[in-house]
Amino acid sequence: MHTTDASNAPVARITIVRIKLIHTLIFWILSASVLYALFSGVMNHITPWTWVAVGLVVLEGVVLVASGWTCPLTLLAERLGAVRGSVADIPPEVVCGSDLPICGTTYLVALVVIILRVFW
C-alpha cells in the first residue's frame, strides 16, 4: 500500500476507492450538518455545534466555487483514471446529482429559521 520516494520515506498511495470513501464520509457529514442546522433552528436550540454545521456547509460552498462547481475529489479521481462522476458511487450518483436542490433548499430554510431565532 505504501511506496517510497527518493528519500525512502513512505508515501501513501491515493486510490480511487480511497477517494470514494473520503467523498462518502464528507457527503454524510455535510448532509448531517444540513439536518442539524435545520433541527437546531426549528427546535430553537442554537449551540456552538449549530455554527460548526453552518460553517461546514459554507466551507463546502467556497470549495465548490473555487473549483468551478466541480468536486475536487472528482477531479482527483479523474486524474487517476476514473470515469467522470464515478467518485459518487457511494452514495449513488442519483443521490449526489440531486443533493444540491434538496440539501441547498433545506440549508436555506435552516439559515432563515436560525436567523429568525437569533435576531427575533
Q: Which pLDDT tens digit goes with each residue over 3-30?
A: 555 556 555 678 888 888 898 899 889 9
pLDDT attached to residue 77: 85
pLDDT at residue number 49: 98
Average pLDDT, the chain: 83
Q: Which three cell numbers stand for residue 12?
A: 501513501
| 62/2: higher pLDDT | 62
- For the residues 80-87, what does the mean pLDDT come to? 72
The DSSP-derived string for 44-93 is: T---HHHHHHHHHHHHHHHHHHHTTTS-HHHHHHHHTTPPTTGGG-SS-H
Query: What are the residue boundaries of the structural domains of the chain, listed by start?
Result: 15-119
Q: pLDDT tens for residues 20-57?
A: 889 889 988 999 999 999 999 999 999 999 999 999 99
User: The whole model's pTM is what?
Assistant: 0.78
